[in-house]
């Protein structure tokens, strides 16, 4: 295949949602229908010890939530699909925000009973900022849900985007029969109760088929009325509007019961975008350029705890990435070869010889890489839009076991490189402060330090309202600020100045008194 053909057949997307909307279950079922796995993991069932394929960290299996983005690639027909399953919990939102920089489209999962929730709105804002094409999957129709038309109105209003239903549910809750595929104009009904594999028996029926009543009575007339209303209220689907991020195709279903998943997957591969151009500080990079470029959007320490390895997740933006070929690590200027770059299926890795734009490749990292680092064939490019957010919560971190000082230092260094939390060193007393966007992160850090590095840590409270990065072209004013506020100053892991404001009033006063200093609450890596 030519480079252009390889690009055209790729779909790289993230699945995002509020916690517990069924995002990881949907990921499993997409893998199931794609033939990447043969039996779905029962995510919530304690009887089946098989966890969800995409939740592979021990703490994820214990809690039943995703705390890190996982990557899964598989072939479906002649299309190569790369799914990034992201954490839904707001305490891990930063990982999700960065993942959105590495995808070409997004599927948002919404719980049909709860409707649009807080975290969904925030994630939609990030998609809107980047004009990322969005699809919506309204899940859990097997439970009592809101009226489908109420849900459509809510999605339009809350997410501030036009919608066009491409499937429609036949009832919900205990009487849920399945979904009608508006895009393909057919009805796919399950004839058996098999839900853990993709080979359940189905029947395909058209709306005017006289057997329709036999299968979905007493809902046949109601379905026809609903479909007439859909056609009367909503404009026909326009792919250009979807690709521009102005229209969200919407699907109904029940991921746990396989309803609506195949319809979503089949429509997705037809209308979702293949890899798109990427923005750098220097220029726009087209995916069909001959020379390889890419950037690291995630680093994961301890993919395999037995080997203490770190993997950097590289998104290929243009050209062909080849194993054992030398590429320039732009920040250091060094040429590097990779003898065993990985393709992913959650924690299962396989060595890949070639990767194309849209693919995600795992590079073994001995501590040389940072999130946001670029790779190229000699051109100095810096990809933009990979954010780091000012933390909301802060605690001192102390060593709980004096004999494990080295383990704690190494563990802390590697976990902070993942970008899940930030480490500051106080200029006042040299103590280490960890800042996170959510309280659960402290628990995860403590757990991972103990179970992956054998280090015990203790947390101590500290009163900090906000941390912000400082920039100024007025050296005298900056020096004056540093002199006055030396007790509130710190440096981050990369040696950048940080002001730790203890109250909102102190921050407001500093902004007013020092107009030539920029107080930044987001920082690009």
Q: Clarify whether residues 395 and 252 are in a common domain.
A: no
pLDDT at position 297: 86
Q: Are residues 416 and 290 in the same domain?
A: no
Q: Which domain does 22 fall in, by range?
A: 3-271
Q: What is the CATH number of the domain that holds 16?
A: 3.40.50.300
* Residue 385 domain flag: no
Q: What is the pLDDT of residue 200?
A: 55
Domain presence at residue 384: no
Look at residue 88 in the predicted model and tell me its pLDDT.
45
Residue 258 CA, chain-centre distance (Å), reads 22
Pair (409, 504) in one structural domain: yes
Q: Residue 221's pLDDT is what?
A: 85
Q: How many domains does the chain have?
A: 3
Instruction: Answer yes or no: do 251 and 282 share one domain.
Output: no
Task: Mark whether 282 and 267 lie in a shared domain.
Answer: no
- State whether 333 and 431 are in the same domain: no
Which sign does the torsion angle of CA 355, 419, 345, 312 carry? positive
Residue 335 counted as domain residue: yes
Burial track 275-301 (b if 16+ CB lie within 10 A, e otherwise): bbebebeeeebebebeebbbbbbbbbb
Do 348 and 404 lie in one domain? The reply is no
Q: Clarify whether residues 160 and 132 are in a common domain.
A: yes
The answer as to whether 198 is a domain residue is yes
The SS3 call for residue 516 is coil
Residue where one domain finishes, among candidates 345, 376, 407: 376
| Segments in the chain below pLDDT 50 | 42-51, 53-56, 60, 63-68, 88-89, 91, 346-347, 525
pLDDT for the residue numbered 64? 47
Q: Is the pTM of this model over 0.85?
A: no
Q: Domain of 432: which CATH number?
A: 3.30.70.3280
Question: Tell me, what's the pLDDT at 462?
Answer: 92
Do the domain assignments include residue 246? yes
- pLDDT for position 31: 84
The pLDDT value given to residue 55: 47
How far is 417 from 445, CA to CA, in rounded Å?
12
Same domain, 54 and 18: yes
**pLDDT for 383:** 86
Query: Which residues on neighbouring strands pair with residue 328, listed in sequence order?
Result: 335, 376
pLDDT of the residue at 24: 80
Domain annotation covers residue 72: yes
The pLDDT of residue 447 is 86
Residues 192 and 263 in one domain: yes
398 lies in the same domain as 515 = yes
Pair 306, 284 in one domain = yes
Bridge partners (DSSP) of residue 76 are 79
Distances in Å between the alpha carbon of 462 and those of 488, 507, 510?
A: 12, 17, 20
Give the per-residue pLDDT at 316.
Answer: 94
pLDDT at 56: 41
> Per the domain annotation, does 382 fall within a domain?
no
């Amino acid at each position: 295949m030519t480079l252009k053909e390889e690009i055209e057949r790729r779909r790289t997307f993230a699945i995002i949602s509020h916690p517990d909307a069924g995002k990881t279950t949907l990921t499993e079922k997409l893998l199931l229908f794609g033939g990447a796995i043969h039996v779905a993991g029962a995510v919530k069932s304690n009887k089946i010890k098989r966890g969800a394929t995409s939740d592979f960290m021990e703490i994820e299996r214990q809690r039943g939530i995703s705390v890190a983005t996982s990557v899964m690639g598989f072939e479906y027909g002649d299309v190569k699909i790369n799914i990034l399953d992201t954490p839904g919990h707001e305490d891990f939102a930063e990982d999700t925000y960065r993942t959105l920089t590495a995808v070409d489209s997004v599927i948002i999962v919404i719980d049909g009973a709860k409707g649009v929730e807080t975290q969904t709105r925030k994630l939609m804002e990030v998609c809107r900022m980047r004009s990322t094409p969005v699809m919506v999957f309204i899940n859990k129709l097997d439970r009592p849900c809101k009226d489908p038309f109420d849900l459509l109105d809510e999605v339009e209003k809350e997410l501030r985007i036009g919608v066009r239903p491409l499937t429609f549910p036949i009832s919900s809750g205990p009487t849920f029969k399945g979904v009608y595929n508006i895009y393909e104009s057919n009805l796919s009904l399950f004839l058996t109760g098999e839900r853990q594999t993709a080979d359940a028996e189905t029947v395909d029926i058209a709306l005017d088929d006289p057997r329709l009543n036999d299968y979905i009575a007493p809902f046949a007339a109601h379905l026809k009325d609903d479909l007439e209303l859909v056609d009367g209220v909503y404009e026909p689907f326009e792919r250009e509007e979807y690709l521009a991020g102005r229209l969200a195709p919407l699907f109904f279903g029940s991921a746990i019961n396989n309803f609506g998943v195949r319809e979503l997957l089949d429509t997705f591969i037809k209308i979702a975008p293949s890899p798109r151009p990427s923005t750098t500080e220097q220029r726009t990079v087209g995916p069909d350029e001959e020379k390889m470029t890419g950037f690291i959007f995630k680093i994961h320490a301890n993919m395999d705890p037995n080997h203490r390895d770190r993997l950097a997740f590289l998104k290929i933006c243009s050209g062909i990435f080849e194993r054992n070929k030398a590429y320039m690590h732009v920040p250091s200027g060094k040429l590097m070869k990779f003898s065993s770059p990985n393709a992913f299926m959650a924690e299962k890795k396989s060595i890949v010889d070639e990767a194309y734009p849209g693919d995600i490749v795992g590079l073994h990292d001995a501590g040389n890489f940072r999130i946001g680092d670029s790779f190229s064939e000699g051109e100095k490019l810096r990809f933009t839009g990979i954010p780091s957010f000012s933390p909301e919560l802060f605690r001192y971190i102390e060593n709980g076991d004096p004999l494990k000082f080295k383990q704690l230092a190494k563990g802390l260094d590697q976990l902070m490189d993942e970008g899940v939390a930030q480490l500051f060193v106080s200029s006042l007393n040299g103590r280490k402060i960890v800042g996170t966007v959510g309280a659960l992160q402290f628990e995860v850090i403590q757990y991972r330090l103990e179970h992956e590095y054998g280090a015990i840590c203790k947390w101590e409270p500290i009163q900090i309202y906000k941390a912000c990065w400082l920039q100024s072209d007025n050296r005298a004013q900056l020096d004056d600020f540093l002199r006055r506020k030396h007790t509130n100053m710190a440096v981050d892991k990369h040696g950048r100045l940080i002001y730790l404001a203890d109250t909102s009033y102190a921050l407001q006063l500093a902004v007013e008194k020092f107009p030539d200093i920029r107080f930044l609450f987001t920082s690009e890596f």
